[in-house]
């Protein structure tokens, strides 16, 4: 049916919905999108004011903030780059 988003990979079971637009997946999809936005905002803050960004990261590590830890980490990316160079 035109305009209908795909429900997932061929052969996916009917019991497990992989449709991002399905009502039962809304909470999970919304959380992922909010976490992505939070990561982008933290990246922008690190460009504008690295000290404030570092302070926020430190707060996360100490458990002071209500938000989850940022998904993106420069250290993880640098480790991957280092492993690929070897």
Q: Which pLDDT score, from 0 to 100, does residue 79 have?
A: 64
Mean pLDDT of 34-50: 90
Based on C-alpha coordinates, what's the Rg of the chain?
A: 18
Q: Is the pTM of this model over 0.85?
A: no
Question: Buried b vs exposed e over 12-24: b needs ≥16 C-beta within 10 Å?
Answer: eeeeeeeeeeeee
Comparing 4 with 73, the larger pLDDT belongs to 73
For residue 12, give both structure tokens: 């996916």
Higher pLDDT: 8 or 33? It is 33
| Residue where the block lists tokens 């933290």 | 42
Confidence band of 57 (pLDDT split at 50, 70, 90):
confident
Q: Residue 11: what are its φ and ψ, rounded to 5°?
A: 90, 0
């Amino acid at each position: 049916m035109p305009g209908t988003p795909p429900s997932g990979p061929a052969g996916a079971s009917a019991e497990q919905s992989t449709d991002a637009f399905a009502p039962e997946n809304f909470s999970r999809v919304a959380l992922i999108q909010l976490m992505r936005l939070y990561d982008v905002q933290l990246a922008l803050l690190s460009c504008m004011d690295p000290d404030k960004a570092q302070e926020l990261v430190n707060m996360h590590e100490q458990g002071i903030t209500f938000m989850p830890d940022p998904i993106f980490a420069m250290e993880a990316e640098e480790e991957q780059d280092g492993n690929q160079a070897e």
